């Protein structure tokens, strides 16, 4: 019985302070864990930085500190490949060699017309406190159902054969 009591007391890692009836509840200070970006980030109508409900490529209005350029180019569809009605184009930037985890930046374009000129950069960052710097790899996918989580083997896609860095222009990719 004594062992159970010691186990219960030693299992608690919370500092216990004396109860005060006049104490008001307050929010914890999370600024050390989640530092604020250098500049305020404008939230779009979907509650995420830069996400707006429009048919144009979505862009944020604020780039994080240390952002260093964009990557731009033109996307083509291979001969005989057609875009499904309502398809969504995803241009995804990841750190070169990254096997998983969240993408560094994503450009989402509903119903694109090809050839399509794109530009991806710090304004498209998934985590605003990270830096858009390379080397990076780009993956482009024309998703037929518009859901980024589902992947159909028949969806046309392309990726950069080698690492690219912010500031790269004139990149040409063909989705097949």
User: What H or E segment, with its residue span, contains residue 52?
Assistant: none
Top-confidence residue, 121 or 66: 121
Q: Predicted confidence band at 10 (pLDDT cuts at 50, 70, 90)?
A: low
pLDDT in tens, 124-133: 999 988 899 9
pLDDT for 1: 63
Query: Does a structural domain hold residue 116?
Result: yes
By C-alpha distance, which of 114, 69, 63 is closest to 89? 114
For the beta carbon of residue 72, count every other beta carbon within 10 angstroms: 15
Query: Does a structural domain hold residue 89?
Result: yes
pLDDT in tens, 85-108: 899 999 999 999 987 788 999 999
Query: Does a structural domain hold residue 31?
Result: no
Q: Output the pTM of the full model.
A: 0.62
Query: Does a structural domain hold residue 131?
Result: yes
Top-confidence residue, 15 or 101: 101
């Amino acid at each position: 019985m004594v062992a159970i009591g010691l186990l219960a007391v030693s299992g608690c890692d919370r500092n216990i302070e004396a109860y005060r009836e006049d104490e008001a509840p307050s929010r914890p200070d999370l600024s050390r864990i989640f530092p604020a970006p250098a500049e305020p980030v404008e939230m779009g109508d979907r509650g995420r930085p830069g996400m707006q409900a429009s048919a144009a490529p979505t862009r944020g209005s604020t780039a994080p500190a240390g952002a260093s350029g964009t990557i731009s180019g033109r996307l083509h569809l291979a001969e005989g490949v057609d875009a499904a009605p309502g398809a969504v184009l995803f241009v995804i930037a990841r750190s070169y060699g990254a096997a998983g985890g969240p993408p560094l930046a994503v450009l989402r374009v509903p119903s694109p017309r090809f050839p399509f000129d794109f530009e991806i950069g710090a304004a498209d960052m998934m985590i605003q406190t990270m830096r858009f710097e390379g080397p990076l790899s780009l993956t482009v996918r024309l998703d037929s159902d518009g859901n980024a989580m589902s992947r159909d083997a028949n969806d046309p896609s392309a990726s950069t054969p080698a690492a690219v860095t912010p500031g790269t222009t004139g990149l040409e990719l063909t989705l097949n």
